[in-house]
Amino acid sequence: MEKILVVDDEQSLREVLSIMLKRAGYAVTCASDGEEAVEQLTKEIFDLVITDLRMPKVDGMEVLKAVKSTSPETVVLVITAFATADSAVEAMKQGAYDYLTKPFQVDEVQLIIRNALEKRRLSTENMLLKREMASQSSFAQLVGQSDAMQKVFDLVRKVADSKSNVLICGESGTGKELVARAIHYNSARSTAPFVAVNCSAVPETLLESELFGHMKGSFTGAISNKAGLFEVANGGTIFLDEIGDTTPTIQVKLLRVIQEREFRRVGGNQDIKVDVRVVAATNKDLEKAVADGSFREDLYYRLDVIPIKLPPLRLRSGDIPLLVSHFLDRFSKESGKPTPVLTPEAMQVLLAHEWRGNVRELENLIERVVAFSSGESVTDMEIRGWLHRPVAPQPQQGVPTDLPDEGVDLEALINGIEKDLLMKALERTKWVKKKAARLLRLNTRSFRYRLEKYAIKGGRD
């Protein structure tokens, strides 16, 4: 239910708007002046604010500024008398969506509100669609003809339209996020957001805010209200990758949102209702984690309603030729190069490899093959060279070979090394962030987090 704040010093007008909006299905809060409205804005996030321009003490322009500073995505409509329409136009320049001139017709108000909220919804959806455009055919990215993978495909089809939570288990690199996306895009929620978060890539202090959002001033750096990923995913699916790495504090909060379908933002005092399907993934043995007390038993059973186990690549080696063909075709198209051909001997080398990094390791290898190939056949010697590249130790400037008597600033040293590797990866990939992230074996979210951490700007996706 969308929430609207009505701000006006005329009680009769507040009551008329409140009755009309509640009948239309909105949750309505009223404020009798601008001062009260600004106070409400510090406590709660609204989808729409309707405010009079002329009010004592704190006027409508101040309310507009308060909205845009605490919750930029909130839509603002201003109410004005005909004689002050110029002020309303000025308010629109400051970020208001539209204005209502007194006296106004009920039908007119309802239409403007519907359009304003629809624009807000479309803006959010467009942002998510751009992010997920490449994932719409995610089922096609799941490649495999082995019995083990066919069972996974059948299970995905059967559970896609279920409302039950799903727990995907498997070693790193087996394609857990691809399975999560396939579940979402083959479900009735496919037109709603799919939001993925790697729980191990975000520090605990930031993960709570990332998942549940925060209110302005709730901690240092919280300069405005922010919606969390559970809010963004409302109506759709949230994918919690590496759920086994979450701390007890986060586990408690996840349990509440899964059980109650509601949560509070960091620093907030209002419960926010959501309709979100949870798909979680882990490469850990959660049953063992429950037994040793590092993972909550009640949360485990809430997540493990529908378990899906992904087999490691070494147990489905018959899928390797199909995966190789898929990746060769994909990376050749992306780079605009001819598709190279592997000799039978080269394929035998791939079939005999143990693939500790699973499908992700094979994907990275084929990307190197395409990058260095001239489009001709690739031999077994070349494959062996790329598979068993000697990793020479790279001396890092400023890294001590021994611990000096005066000690070292370990955090500064590690940060310096990390930033240096980020820059080298970007330079090697000509500042293509996606490829640089692959070089460092990072997912996109983790890579972007590190770029922001070190204020590294530029490049392209």
Count the neighbouring beta carbons within 10 Å of the beta carbon of residue 137: 10
The predicted structure's pLDDT at residue 180: 94
Confidence of residue 404 (pLDDT cuts 50, 70, 90): low
Q: Are 50 and 24 in contact (CB under 8 A)?
A: no
Nearest to 305 by CA among 134, 132, 164, 452: 164
Q: Are 310 and 174 in contact (CB under 8 A)?
A: yes
Distance CA 149, CA 286 (A): 22
Is residue 319 predicted with pLDDT exceeding 80? yes
Distance CA 432, CA 437 (A): 9
Q: Which residues contact 297 (CB under 8 A, 6 or more apart)?
A: 290
Distance CA 178, CA 247 (A): 25
Asked whether the CA dihedral 283, 287, 293, 299 is positive or negative, the reply is positive
Q: Which ranges in the chain are annotated with CATH 3.40.50.2300?
A: 3-131
Q: Which residues contact 28 (CB under 8 A, 6 or more apart)?
A: 3, 4, 5, 6, 17, 18, 21, 22
Segment 212-220 shows an average pLDDT of 88
Count the neighbouring beta carbons within 10 Å of the beta carbon of residue 353: 19
Segment 262-276 shows an average pLDDT of 90
Amino acid identity, residue 437? A
Q: Is 204 or 63 the better-scoring residue by pLDDT?
A: 63
Amino acid identity, residue 185? Y
Amino acid identity, residue 44? E
pTM exceeds cut of 0.85: no
Confidence of residue 278 (pLDDT cuts 50, 70, 90): very high
Confidence of residue 398 (pLDDT cuts 50, 70, 90): low
Is residue 455 predicted with pLDDT exceeding 50? yes
Segment 196-217 shows an average pLDDT of 89
Confidence of residue 82 (pLDDT cuts 50, 70, 90): low
Confidence of residue 131 (pLDDT cuts 50, 70, 90): very low
The predicted structure's pLDDT at residue 246: 94
Nearest to 120 by CA among 67, 42, 59: 67
Segment 404-421 shows an average pLDDT of 75
Is residue 324 predicted with pLDDT exceeding 70? yes
Q: Give the pairing of strands 262-263 and 237-241.
A: unpaired
Distance CA 273, CA 262 (A): 4
In tens, the pLDDT along 135-152 reads 444 555 678 889 999 999
Q: Are 323 and 362 in contact (CB under 8 A)?
A: yes
State which of 1-10, 99-108, 371-380, 393-402 shows the largest mean pLDDT: 1-10
Element (H, E) at 109: helix 106-132
Q: Which ranges in the chain are annotated with CATH 3.40.50.300?
A: 136-311
Three-state secondary structure call for residue 104? coil
Domain 314-387 in CATH 3.10.450.50: no
Q: Which ranges in the chain are annotated with CATH 1.10.10?
A: 410-453
461, two tokens? 């996706």
Segment 268-275 shows an average pLDDT of 89
Segment 360-368 shows an average pLDDT of 92
Q: Are 204 and 247 in contact (CB under 8 A)?
A: yes
Segment 85-114 shows an average pLDDT of 82
Is residue 410 predicted with pLDDT exceeding 80? no
Is residue 313 predicted with pLDDT exceeding 90? yes
Segment 438-461 shows an average pLDDT of 82
Q: Are 207 and 246 in contact (CB under 8 A)?
A: yes
The predicted structure's pLDDT at residue 323: 94
Element (H, E) at 213: strand 213-214
Nearest to 326 by CA among 181, 190, 145: 145
State which of 345-359, 394-408, 420-434 shows the largest mean pLDDT: 345-359
Is residue 392 predicted with pLDDT exceeding 50? no
HSE (side-chain half, CA atoms, 13 Å) at 289: 20
Nearest to 230 by CA among 203, 207, 252: 207
* CATH number assigned to the domain covering 410-453: 1.10.10
Q: Are 27 and 119 in contact (CB under 8 A)?
A: no
In tens, the pLDDT along 225-255 reads 888 999 999 999 999 999 999 999 999 999 9
The helix, strand and coil proportions of the chain, stated in percent and rounded to the nearest 5, come to 50, 15, 35
Q: Is 215 or 135 the better-scoring residue by pLDDT?
A: 215
Rounded CA Rg of the chain? 27
Q: What percent of the chain has pLDDT over 90?
A: 43
- Domain 3-131: give its CATH superfamily: Response regulator (3.40.50.2300)
Mean pLDDT over each residue of the chain, to the nearest integer = 85
**CATH class of the domain whose range is 136-311:** alpha beta
Confidence of residue 395 (pLDDT cuts 50, 70, 90): very low
The predicted structure's pLDDT at residue 135: 44
The predicted structure's pLDDT at residue 390: 42
Segment 310-315 shows an average pLDDT of 94
Confidence of residue 126 (pLDDT cuts 50, 70, 90): low
User: In Å, what is the CA distance from 219 to each residue of 42, 209, 223, 225, 268?
Assistant: 14, 10, 9, 11, 12
Q: Which of 83-87, 111-115, 250-254, 301-305 has the lowest mean pLDDT?
A: 83-87
Is residue 132 predicted with pLDDT exceeding 60? no
Degrees (nearest 5) of the Cα angle 51, 53, 59?
Answer: 95
Is residue 289 predicted with pLDDT exceeding 80? yes
The predicted structure's pLDDT at residue 71: 80
Q: Which ranges in the chain are annotated with CATH 1.10.8.60?
A: 314-387
Confidence of residue 184 (pLDDT cuts 50, 70, 90): very high
